[in-house]
Chains A and B, each alone.
Chain A
Amino acid sequence: MSNVPSELKYATTHEWVRNDGNGIVTVGITEHAQELLGDMVFVELPDVDDEIGTGDDVAVAESVKAASDIYAPITGTVVEINEELEDSPELVNSDAYGEGWLFKVKVADESELDSLLDAEGYTASIAE
């Protein structure tokens, strides 16, 4: 069974969201998602200052096996991207919840966090 940290929030499309405080969240893809995709070879990220809306396809995770769209789990503005992934996309595999983070968002409405899944809800969604 994949690791699903209890302190994070999740989208059914396999993104995780960590509330960093001050209206900033960090977004990545779950361990379950990276396991499904296999070895990552390219990660295309949004640009800093991009306005993104929940459900938009904003990034692409491309593995040896397949290219997969990554959807914005929340609405807001991209304030930082993980530039390490340009040269080391495998961080998404080795540390999906840590060094493999994708981008940070200044959220438009923090109450939107409440509509995301908690760890239990996400675990149930991938068990189906």
Chain B
Amino acid sequence: MSNKTTLHAKHIEAGAKMVDFHGWEMPINYGSQIEEHHAVRQKAGMFDVSHMTIVDVTGDEAQAYLRKLVNNDVAKLTVAGKALYTGMLNEEGGVIDDLIIYFFSETSYKLVVNSATREKDLAWMNKQAQNFKVTITERPEFGMIAVQGPQAKAIVATLLNDEQLAAVDGMKPFFGVQTGELFIATTGYTGEDGYEIVVPEAQAADLWQKLLDAGVAPCGLGARDTLRLEAGMNLYGLDMDETVSPLAANMAWTISWEPTDRNFIGRSVLEAQKEAGDQPKLVGLVFEAKGVLRTGLKVITPDGDGIITSGTFSPTLGHSIAMARVPRSVKFGDTIQVEMRKKLVDVQVIKPSFVRNGKKVF
């Protein structure tokens, strides 16, 4: 049985091609995913991300619980509304999911986790909550719309009331604020400015229509994938999963090693891995000739093989880019090879970040 978001009818109305996405019927494109991609880089586009799972964590021990649950440290959050990106690890140090945590107070947090991992995430969170005074509440009664692009904030501003305008005025990146019935956050998955807006289901279609009328292009999962890959952002299930350490997924920066007595789940395994220095790493690949680097292709390096975890054609750059997991000895600037359609091609290794704010960054 397939789930439909509250915006399903709007997608059909806009001529979307719908696909199954981990049990959700979602738009892959509304005609051309490349045009949608350019709309986000050049003006403003919007994505229905209502399938994502919102979970409120509240209670006297909410902070202590989250400091155990995730590898980043929520104690770093001291300003109301500040958000934190982190992995949630299993005892073996593998990534159960990646998520964003919004801080309201030490007894109140909002988590946004992937829809594809919803069931195992909730099961794990509930299991770990047994020894803490916390309440874990899924919030399926909301829709979520990501509005992204250089003009996104200005266009959204035309639809807000005075109170909401004041609430978002000057809001820095990676913050969120509840204002009236909307939760508006300066987060996203495209490498552009913009908002992610959580809206009560009953009002989601109306907000979508107003954004559409204001010139925001509806964008599907196809554009979402090429945008996030250009921005060098991981996709759960491709770039990392339960068998992959955050050290091997370009997520080392999300690990808060200090204070050393914070015993988050997976810590001892990560410490041993760090000590051994034997984890592979996730790098960016650039291929400027004709052809597209695809997920799953074999990467050949002097120190052993690797694999492309995500590959695509970059509409902004006009050539192919990829993320690949390779031996740790591979350096940025190296030329290595990919086995593509029965032949070996040279690719350049870079830091996994290709485009930010509409511009090439390597």
Task: List chain A positions with a Cβ less than 8 A from chain B.
Answer: 38-39, 41-42, 44, 60, 62, 64-67, 90, 93
Contacts and interface: CB of A to CB of B under 8 A. Distances in A.
Given A38-B222, A41-B313, A64 B291 contact: no
A74 B226 CA distance: 37
Contacts of B313: 41-42, 62, 64
A64 B312 contact: yes
B178 to A, nearest CB: 37
B33 A39 contact: yes
Interface string B11-37: 000000000000000001100111000
A40 B226 CA distance: 14
16 contacts: A38-B33, A39-B32, A39-B222, A41-B34, A42-B313, A62-B291, A62-B292, A64-B33, A64-B34, A64-B222, A64-B226, A64-B313, A64-B315, A65-B222, A67-B292, A90-B34
Given A64-B226, A64-B312, A64-B313, A42 B290 contact: yes
A41 B313 CA distance: 7
A110 B86 CA distance: 64
Interface in B163-194: none
Nearest to B320: A41
Contacts of A65: 222
A64 B33 CA distance: 9
A2 to B, nearest CB: 13
Given A38-B29, A64-B34, A64-B226, 7 more contacts: A38-B28, A39-B29, A41-B292, A42-B313, A62-B291, A62-B292, A62-B313
B97 to A, nearest CB: 26
Nearest to A62: B292
B296 to A, nearest CB: 12
Interface in B335-352: 341
A47 B86 CA distance: 51
A44 B290 contact: yes
A65 B315 CA distance: 12
A42 B315 CA distance: 12
B33 to A, nearest CB: 5
Contacts of A64: 33-34, 222, 226, 292, 312-313, 315
Given A62-B291, A64-B222, A67-B294, A39 B341 contact: no
Contacts of B291: 42, 62, 67
Contacts of B28: 38
B290 A39 contact: no
A67 B341 contact: yes
A44 B292 CA distance: 12
A38 B226 CA distance: 13
B32 A93 contact: yes
Contacts of B222: 38-39, 64-65
A32 to B, nearest CB: 13
A64 B28 CA distance: 12
Contacts of A93: 32
Interface in B35-53: none
A41 B311 CA distance: 14
B292 A42 contact: yes
A90 B226 CA distance: 17
B17 to A, nearest CB: 8
Nearest to A66: B294
A67 B292 CA distance: 8
Nearest to A39: B34
A1 to B, nearest CB: 14
A60 to B, nearest CB: 8
A64 B223 CA distance: 10
B137 to A, nearest CB: 38
A72 B226 CA distance: 32
A50 B29 CA distance: 37
Nearest to A65: B222
A67 B28 CA distance: 18
B318 to A, nearest CB: 9
B19 to A, nearest CB: 11
A46 B29 CA distance: 31
B107 to A, nearest CB: 45
Nearest to A64: B313
Nearest to B34: A39
A4 to B, nearest CB: 19
A67 B29 CA distance: 19
A53 B290 CA distance: 25
A44 B17 CA distance: 27
B287 to A, nearest CB: 11
